[in-house]
Amino acid sequence: MEKFKLSKINNGINITQEEWDKFQKDLRILKFQMQENQDSLEGGLTSRNISSFLNTYIINEKDSLDDTYDMYVHFNIISEMIKIVSVKVSFWILNYRAYSTAAKSGGEVTSASGGGETPTSSSGGSSTPTTSSGGATTPTTSASSGSSVNAVNSDGGVNSVTNVGNEGISGYLPAQWYTHAVSLHSHTHTVYIPNHTHTVTIGNHTHTVTIAAHTHVGGAHTHDITYGIHEEETSPTIKFYISDTGEDHYSDTFFGGYTADKANIDITDYITSVGSKMIKFTSTTRTRLSVQIEIKLEVNY
């Protein structure tokens, strides 16, 4: 409709294209100014009728920590801030999480001994092992067959005689030496040995073994990595410290220790200026945290 009216006007009035373009631009400006005046009268929110506004933003962090390694959360107070309305900290304690359980080896490993070695062991003192026979035994020896003769040569002589025939007569009788022959037939000797033991005493002594220089070789091999999400449930105690400068210098006051999730811990009084800030979380054992920082500022437009 508007185009139709303008075209009729254009048909009745002789204007150039440049004049027509300027007319359209002035019309757009007029419509904008009229809307702006209406917004001001009705209290509408525009950049022209406010000097500041409330800005809220959220910082979320999630990380693992333990009694050696802390968790750090950084945030920033923007330079357009004219008032810090509030800064609040919330956190949730999560199970510690790992993503694998084994690693591959580096390949074949060879270790060499330091050279020949001579370990020596000593006995604990004298010992007397004893063995028993299995019962009575009868070893037998045999003499050779045939006879043997023992001879004594005669040389004459006298024998002394006393009280012959109970008559009280003593004297000497002539004597003569003789030889005697004894025949020994083939025979055996049998000896009976009763049950008995043998006792051997071994004195204190040492045993020496020399081991030559050598190497131990383990063949090349691998251990497959087991991928997956593996969680460990623990019971940590959590504290946190605030740095108003964003550096590793913290206030003497700490928050904690907490053993459960906490929400909306107000730390507004510890944030006093614009710029970088940092919160350090500590734990007594291995765990994982999800941290949220809510910052509300009045910001100059």
Percent of the chain with pLDDT over 70: 63
Residue 155's domain spans which residues?
Answer: 120-218
Contact 99, 229 (CB under 8 A): yes
Same structural domain, 233 and 269: yes
pTM surpassing 0.75? no
The helix (H) or strand (E) run that includes residue 157 is: strand 157-161
Res. 264: pLDDT tops 80 = yes
Tokens coding 184: 């020994």
**Domain total in the chain:** 3
Q: What's the CA gap between 152 and 116, in Å, rounded?
A: 77
In angstroms, the Cα distances linking 191 to 136, 137, 144, 188, 237 are 11, 9, 18, 10, 93
Q: Which of 188, 218, 248 is the last residue of a domain?
A: 218
> Mean of the pLDDT values across residues 93-108?
79
Same structural domain, 23 and 46: yes
Same structural domain, 60 and 26: no
Domain annotation covers residue 46: yes
pLDDT for residue 28: 81
Same structural domain, 39 and 179: no
Domain annotation covers residue 21: yes
pLDDT for residue 281: 97
Domain annotation covers residue 224: no
Same structural domain, 58 and 138: no
pLDDT for residue 52: 65
Same structural domain, 72 and 151: no
Domain annotation covers residue 159: yes
Domain annotation covers residue 186: yes
Res. 136: pLDDT tops 60 = no
- Cα 93 to chain centroid distance, Å, stands at 25
Domain annotation covers residue 223: no
Same structural domain, 187 and 143: yes
Res. 40: pLDDT tops 70 = no
Percent of the chain with pLDDT over 90: 32
Higher pLDDT, 188 or 284: 284
| pLDDT digits 0-9 by tens, 110-120 | 666 555 556 66
pLDDT for residue 90: 98
pLDDT band at 250 (very low <50, low <70, confident <90, very high): confident
The helix (H) or strand (E) run that includes residue 281 is: strand 275-283
Domain annotation covers residue 111: no
Same structural domain, 125 and 168: yes
pLDDT band at 1 (very low <50, low <70, confident <90, very high): very low
pLDDT band at 178 (very low <50, low <70, confident <90, very high): low
CATH of residue 64: 2.60.120.230
Q: Which of 13, 35, 50 is the last residue of a domain?
A: 50
Same structural domain, 128 and 213: yes
Same structural domain, 96 and 130: no
Q: Which of 46-50, 124-128, 209-213 has the highest mean pLDDT?
A: 209-213
Same structural domain, 283 and 139: no
> Mean of the pLDDT values across residues 91-109?
80
Question: With 0-12 CB in 10 A as exposed, 13-18 as middle and 19+ as buried, what is 127?
Answer: exposed
Q: Which of 161, 189, 218 is the last residue of a domain?
A: 218
Same structural domain, 164 and 234: no
